[in-house]
Amino acid sequence: MHRACVWAVLATAVSLPAQTPSRFLQAELVTAIKTKTAAPGDSVKARVVSSVTLPNGLKLGRNTEISGQVRAVDANSVAISFDQVDLDGKLTPLSLSIRAAMAPGATEDTKAQAGSVIGMRGVTLEVDEGPQHASKFRSEGKSLQLKPGLQLMLAPAQ
């Protein structure tokens, strides 16, 4: 009986596929960003929420730090890009664009239209496919604040 259990466990382990590459990764904003005080070039940090293997084979573990910067800012909007990850103390280039965002505490059943930020009424997200891959958060007629904990869905820039 004991041998049968061991073989069953080994057979299962051998048949499990390696982590399938994912086109997206989930991260959490670490840096607070306010349109009233932000400036182009300001550092922005996020951290990976769950381990992922990207299509290029790069493996990012949970809590891996992602670094980027504010690319543009005005009274009602801020454009951000992420361009490197910290892999065991070594900064590695990796261009990532923000594809979606959800405020902390927002629920899945919160209604959102395409391009809107879930849980942040009146805030939209515009994805830049250009060389800077800077995704822009825009607020309807008011200053904008992105708080730590904002959930981000990131994708490698194409």
Closest residue by Cα to residue 69 from 116, 132, 16: 132
Q: List, for residues 97-124, the tens digit of each pLDDT value.
A: 899 999 887 765 555 555 678 888 889 9
Q: What is the pLDDT of residues 78-89, one digit of tens each?
A: 999 999 999 989
Q: Is residue 73's pLDDT more than 80?
A: yes
- Give the pLDDT confidence of 14-59 residue by residue, as tens digits: 333 446 778 889 999 999 999 999 999 999 999 999 999 988 888 9
Residue 120 tokens, joined:
């942040």
pLDDT of amino acid 114: 55
Token pair recorded at residue 107: 């629920």
Residue 19: per-residue pLDDT: 61
* CA 114 to chain centroid: 17
Count of alpha carbons within 13 angstroms of residue 114, beta-carbon side? 1
Q: Please tell me the predicted confidence (pLDDT) of residue 121.
A: 85
The domains found in the chain, sorted by start residue, are 20-156 (2.40.128)
d(CA 35, CA 40): 11
Q: What pLDDT does 2 receive?
A: 35
Question: For position 12, what pLDDT does the model report?
Answer: 36
- Residue 47 has a pLDDT of 97
pLDDT at 3: 32
Residue 146 has pLDDT above 50, yes or no: yes
